[in-house]
Structure formats: structure tokens, C-alpha cells
Structure 1
Amino acid sequence: MILVTGATGQLGGIVVENLLKNTPANEIAVLVRDENKAADLKAKGVEIRVGSYFDEASLKTALQGIDKLLLISSNDFNDRIGQHKNVVDAAKNAGVKHIFYTGVTMKDIETSPLKPLLGDHYQTEDYIKASGLTYTFLQNSLYFEVIPMFVGAGVLETGIFFPAGDGKVAFAARQDLGEAIAIILSTEGHENKTYNLTGSEAYSFAEIAEELSSLTGKTVAYTSPEPAAFEGMLKQFGLPEGIVVMSVLFAAGIKNNDFSSPSGTLEQFLGRKTTDLKAFLHATYAA
């Protein structure tokens, strides 16, 4: 049986949706914190198991009888490595045969400005390896879906003000990633492999501005300010400190070209071209 964590979240939901296309529902289980949010999956015949990354006892029960476990990384930064360790420990104790983990693909975490924020992905991978479990690491690129967060809601009127310099990102659509992960989960031959799952092409924020200009007929300018000016602007908007820090660090990481290396692996699993910038922006800003 395959168990997907975070199944009521965006990526997990896409994975389960795609699994159901070629895997019997009674061979799929999901880990959720709130059973009511998984009513649609239960109606389709998916087994619902209730648990939390923070609750070791619930994990121990939920992972019984599971062969393959997809651990979708926590989006709660409160001791994220501790949460992941709880799942890995429970998986080992429950006799899970194979763990799949959604991390991040980067040029070099050790030299990245984002190490304080994303280093726990690599710590999790090390912990999984040390556990002795068979593993598959699904190192995802940044989602296309983060672009609106970075450029702001008023981007078509104000332009892009983001200190990413000329850095590029091989963005991947969440839908593409979820589809590929479902394929990997439901096929064999992935033991102790690491897959870099990225878009087929890398784009700069200047190129994003150009594409938005072309798409909308408006002049969307790109300005790469000093990080301090960007941070000051975010604080003026009254954003929480955590969001400000995260935004500044991601801009620095992108400027450092941490996510600029496209891989053909995602395209190979999908058997088609990955979603490109034009298609994503059209669906987001012109639909």
C-alpha cells in the first residue's frame, strides 16, 4: 500500500489525484490531520489515516501496513527537521519498505544564502539515509506558483521590484511535479535514487517582466533593488517578519543562481514538455 502525507495540501492532492488514474483506490492511503477535509478522498475509496508530524504515537499507528511512503516536506518551519525525523522513525518502526521525500534541488546548499531556511531538506535526506530505509529523493525546483508571491498582486501596474539580479530559475509547475511523483510512486526501479525535478528552461525576472508585458500589452518593468530597500518596502506593507526574511533570502538565492540548472528528468517522467513560462503566466494573468 502507498501512503501519501499532506494529501489535503496542494502538491499532495495532485499526487493522489494522479495515483487514482492507475492505482486501485484500496491500495492508497493518506495521512491527514483533519479527516473531514479528506471526505472526497474517502468517498473515492482511499483509506484515511489521521496523524500529525508532531504526534509520534499517531504516526506509529498510521504507518502500519504501508509499503511505500511519500513524505511531503512540512511547510511548518517550527523544528521542521524534528517533524521529519518523527515520520522517518515511525516509518522504520512500522516496517515501511520505501520512503520517498520531497526536498529541493539547488546548486549547492552550503554556499547558498538560503541555507538557514532550506538546509533542513538536506538534513532530512541524510537522516533518511542513516535510517537504512530504501529511499527516493524527489528534489523539486521552485514552483511557478511562487512567482505571484514574489512579484506582488499589483505587478501589472507597478512592475516587478525584486532583488534577484540576473539570476534564473528552472521553475516547475506544481501540477507537473505532482503528476511525475505519482508516476514514480506507482512504478518500480527508483530504489536509492535522487531525481532533480525542474522545468526544462530557466527564466530570469527580467524575462518574466518581458513576458508579462507581451501578454498584457502593458509595460511591466523589472527593477532589482538593493536588498535593504526591498526589505524596507515589505516592512512598510506590514508583512510578518517571517515572510519578510523568507522573501529576502529567496531573492538572494535566486540572484546566486541556486535554482538555475534545468534538468530533463521531469520531462522524461511526464513523457511530454513541461509547462513553460508563457503558459503559466497566461493561465495566471490572462485567464
Structure 2
Amino acid sequence: MNNKILITGATGSLGSMLINLLKEKIEITNLAVLVRDEKNELAKQYAYEGIEVLIGDYANLESLERAFKDIDTLYFVSGGDDNERAKLHKNVVDSAKKNGIKHILYTSAVWKDESDSSPLANLVDSHLQTENCIKTSGITYTILKHNLYAEVIEMMIGDKSQLLKTKNIYLPTANGLTSFVPKKDLAEVEVNILLNPSSYSNKTLEFNGSEQISFSEIAKKISEIIKEPIQYISPTENEFKEQMTKFGLPSHIIEILKTFSTAIANREFDQQSNDLERVLGRKTTSLSEFLQRISNVNSKMLLKDYA
């Protein structure tokens, strides 16, 4: 029986990785992508490859209802706006239910502290609301709780040229550990689930990297890779904010960095579930290998897809 799969977030880095893997494993007629702008270069490429490109926006119910027709399985990438996320996500779930979508796979996040005092309070609340909305919709679901992407490391420390200039990693993460996961590993494991969704019906999976690491250890690994001493400094939150302001970093970027650094210090991301290894059938890419890869690329800091 045909299973028409719709991938949201199709022009983002995780969505595009997943599509590249999936299109080699299923009939192209069973794959569709959701984009906001049909003129986007990736959207044009998908159309050229014969993938059905559907136009939709989480903020536009009518566009979602048009796009979700004849879809069986929805790979639902969470939106990036913490304040509006729950509202926009309800649009997605309501439209999915109205169109008879049979299975939703939702990309959520991991956390430990669900209190209002958590640095991740907005993130946690919006994801919790979405998870509950999906569970009460009656649609079969799989909740995919992602730890921080390994790609966030570069966003937090800067690229190779910045490190060579400053010779330090300056973040208020204290001795907190994080189970970072490369997006490539997440794309691979979630393709496995999309190919056999019934085995993961109404389950919540926690996807963590195989290693727990601190930024002090990251500094040591990078020092070995680039053969330059990189010092790790953990300031207070106020010191961090003052220094970043002096360096001219925009306030919203400082807030993102401070929020996730504090959460790391509080061990929000020190999770050790082996769901990812179990479904993937192997350990995740080693962080030494990942850091070696990004150290060879002088890319700009990435400030999207941070959670």
C-alpha cells in the first residue's frame, strides 16, 4: 500500500538531509515537500527531481489544508518562534486531523526542568503544548525529542577564524555536559522510522548523541585539531552579556547564546537515553570527527535551527 509522505522544513538543513536520503529509498511519487516560497532554490531543485512541491505556511490554515490533502504521513519540523510556536503548531495538527493524515512524526526537544524558572521555559512550554495537542488529536504519532544539534557548537563558539583570533571559548556553560547530535545522524535515523512508521506508533523517542561533553573538553579537542591553544572561560551570565555587548553582538543573539549556555550549565541537555543508537543501529558520529570536519571550513556562525 502506498504511503504518501510530506516533509515540512524542506528547505532547512535537517529537512533537506532527510529528503536526500529518503528519495533514494522510496518511489518519488510517494514523497512531497512543504515550502513557503516556491522560488526558493531548493524548492526548484525538488521540483526538477520530480518531487511534489506544496506551498504552505504554519500561520496560514488554508494553505495547510490544501497541502495536506492525500497525505498519509507528516514529518512535522517544529517552528523556530518560541512565543508563537504552540499556536502555529495547533494549525498544523488541526489541518492534519481535518485531512485525515494517519501518522505525525514531530521534532520536539529534550529537557529536564519543566518549571517556569527554567531558562528553557518558553521552549519547553511550546513543545509540551504541541505534544499534548498531537496526542489528544487521535492521530497516530511518534514524538522525536532532539538533543542539541552538534552544529550548534559552531554557532556558540564561532568559526575557525574567530577562534584563531580570540584563542578562547567564552561561554557561561560552567561544567555542564551536552549529548550533542549531528543532524546527519538524526536524518538517517528518522528516515529509518519513516520507512517503518507502524513500529513506532504512539511512542516518544529521545535522541541523544553517544557522548556527553563539556565546552572545556571541546576546547581541548579543538586545540588538538587546529594545533593552537584554545582556552575555555566560563563567565557569569552578567559578565557574558556585558562582554558580548562590548563586542557589538546583537542583543537577540546574546540572549540566545546566554539562554542555551545557562541551560547547558544546568545540565538540561545531559541526557543519556540510547533510543537513537538503538534505532540507528550504531553509535552517533564521534564529536572529534565532527569537530575535525567543521574546523576545516571557515563558515559564518549559524543562528537558525538552534533547537
TM-score, with length taken from structure 2: 0.90
Q: Deviations over 1:23-75 (max 9, x none)?
A: 11100111111112211111222111101011100000100111100110012
The farther-off stretch of 270-279 and 20-29 is: 270-279
Q: Which runs of 5+ in 2 are unaligned?
A: 298-307
Q: Deviations over 1:58-95 (max 9, x none)?
A: 00010011110011001234511111111111000011
Distance 1:116 1:231 in 2: 20
Paired position in structure 2 for 1:202: 212
Q: Which runs of 5+ in 1 are unaligned?
A: none
Is 1:21 aligned with 2:39? no
Distance 2:9 2:174 in 1: 34
Paired position in structure 2 for 1:185: 194
> Superposition pairs for residues 118-129 of structure 1, below 5 Å?
118-129=124-135
Distance 1:260 1:171 in 2: 9
Paired position in structure 2 for 1:274: 284
Q: Tell me if structure 1 keeps the 8 A contact 2:83–2:122.
A: no
Secondary structure of the structure 1 residue equivalent to 2:151? helix
Distance 1:17 1:240 in 2: 34
Aligned length: 287
Paired position in structure 1 for 2:12: 9
Secondary structure of the structure 1 residue equivalent to 2:249? coil
TM-score, with length taken from structure 1: 0.96
| AA matched with 1:221 | Q
127, 136, 139: which is aligned to 2:142? Answer: 136
Secondary structure of the structure 1 residue equivalent to 2:201? coil
The farther-off stretch of 31-40 and 200-209 is: 31-40
Is 1:89 aligned with 2:98? no
Paired position in structure 2 for 1:70: 75
Secondary structure of the structure 1 residue equivalent to 2:71? coil
100, 109, 127: which is aligned to 2:105? Answer: 100
Deviation at 1:156, TM superposition (A): 3.3
Paired position in structure 2 for 1:115: 121
The farther-off stretch of 261-270 and 244-253 is: 261-270
Distance 2:251 2:136 in 1: 35
| AA matched with 2:36 | R
Is 1:149 aligned with 2:155? yes
Superposition CA RMSD, Å:
1.4
